[in-house]
Structures are given as structure tokens and as C-alpha cells.
Amino acid sequence: AQTVTQSQPEMSVQEAETVTLSCTYDTSESDYYLFWYKQPPSRQMILVIRQEAYKQQNATENRFSVNFQKAAKSFSLKISDSQLGDAAMYFCAYRSLGTGNQFYFGTGTSLTVIP
Amino acid sequence: KAGVTQTPRYLIKTRGQQVTLSCSPISGHRSVSWYQQTPGQGLQFLFEYFSETQRNKGNFPGRFSGRQFSNSRSEMNVSTLELGDSALYLCASSLGPVAKNIQYFGAGTRLSVL
């Protein structure tokens, strides 16, 4: 079964600075999707960014970008110009393209933004 | 467009009881997935429904069941509640079960079992 590992339970960043959240995964598949979701105190999970494994180019969404290293099975999230509203729990997730393509989530990284 | 709606937001039950949670997907979405979120285990997949059929099931005991109605609304039922069932239960909807479809999550139902 696929596993997703987030080795940083907690991270903090100064407002306006840059922070990188780490994620590694284990799979024998060649095609899959990777996601970063954000869960603020309101509890609603919000999609931050999505990466298709067959695409070499790293995905970006405004201040959010990923460093996708397929061979290393690494998928880190970089948040630039951090804002107070970025404070939340961040989850890395994997989803295969095959049948039974359920999501596998990491255990999350709690991000604190210091004013 | 309204988001994914889960009711109720909070629920308190005692051991041995059963509970039903409800999820209304985004209009037009036909796939609904359920997850259990606990501090120790993180987010774990329960099951996914598409067009009223269960497509996939996670590794949970048979006490956990679900169904989907013709309007895509879904319910999840947990029978004979145990203390360990205390968790945040999240529902997510998407256009369909294809992996590329983005899942949109509801705010969850917080279940406390006493």
C-alpha cells in the first residue's frame, strides 16, 4: 500500500518569510497525483496545489509552489511571503490513477505564522 | 455554488449506540468519499460512492457503512459505537471517481463517544 510521510509535525515561519514543508511517499506506480491540502481551524480542508506525476514541471499557485522529485519520491511545498492566514495544518496526499484510487494522506504539519 | 454540507456539525453519543452522519455534495458532483480524522491516525479513508454504488472501501470494520442516494447525497452509519470511534468525520465530493478530479471537503462532523 502507498504511504505518505510528513516528518515535520510542527513548523513556524515569520510573516513575509518563506517556509518549506516536506513530504515523501512510497509507491511502485508510475502515474499518480500528489496534493497539498490546508486545514485551518475551521476544519474545512482546502486544496492548495496539485501535481501530476507525469509532468516534469513543478506546479505553482500564486505564493505556493512545489518541488517534485519523482525519483526521490519527494513532494515539498514552498510558501513564499507567508501571511497570517497561512497558519493551518497542511496535509500531503497521494492518489493513484488505477482502480481503487483512494487518497492516502500524511499525518500533517502544523504551520504557525509569527507576526 | 454551495459547498459540501455535512450535518450535524457536532454529535455526542454513548458507547453501544449507533449514529448516522449526512453529506450533501456540491451540485453536479456524483462521487462522495468519507474519511475519519483522529490525532493519532490522521486521515483515513473509509469509503467512496459513485452513482449509488460503493466503489472502494478502506480498512474499517463492518460497523462502518454508508450509502448514496439518487441525488448523490450520502449517509454514513456507525453501529455499536466504541470510544475509539470519537473523531472528525470528513466528507468530500468530486465530479466523478477519476483520480484527476479534485475532491472538495466539507467542514466535518465531530463525533464524541462517551
Interface of A with B in 10-29 (CB under 8 A): none
Which residue of B lies nearest to A93 if distances are taken between CA atoms? B43
- Chain A, nearest residue to B4 by Cα: A44
For residue A1, pLDDT beyond 70: no
Say yes or no for a CB contact (<8 Å) between A103 and B103. Answer: yes
pLDDT, position A44: 87
pLDDT at A101 over 80: no
CB within 8 Å: A101 and B99: yes
Q: Which of A42, A101, A107, A110 to mutate to test the interface with B (most CBs of B within 10 A)?
A: A101
Per-residue pLDDT band for A97 (boundaries 50, 70, 90) equals: confident
Residue in chain A nearest B101 by alpha carbon:
A33
Span B47-103, pLDDT tens digits: 999 999 998 898 999 999 999 999 999 999 999 999 999 999 999 999 987 777 888
Confidence of residue A42 (pLDDT cuts 50, 70, 90): confident
C-alpha pair distances (Å), A3 with each of A25, A26, A90, A105, B109? 6, 5, 16, 8, 26
CA distance A6 to B11: 30
Q: How far apart are CA A99 and CA B42, in angstroms?
A: 23
How far apart are the C-alpha atoms of A39 and A57, rounded to whole Å? Answer: 26
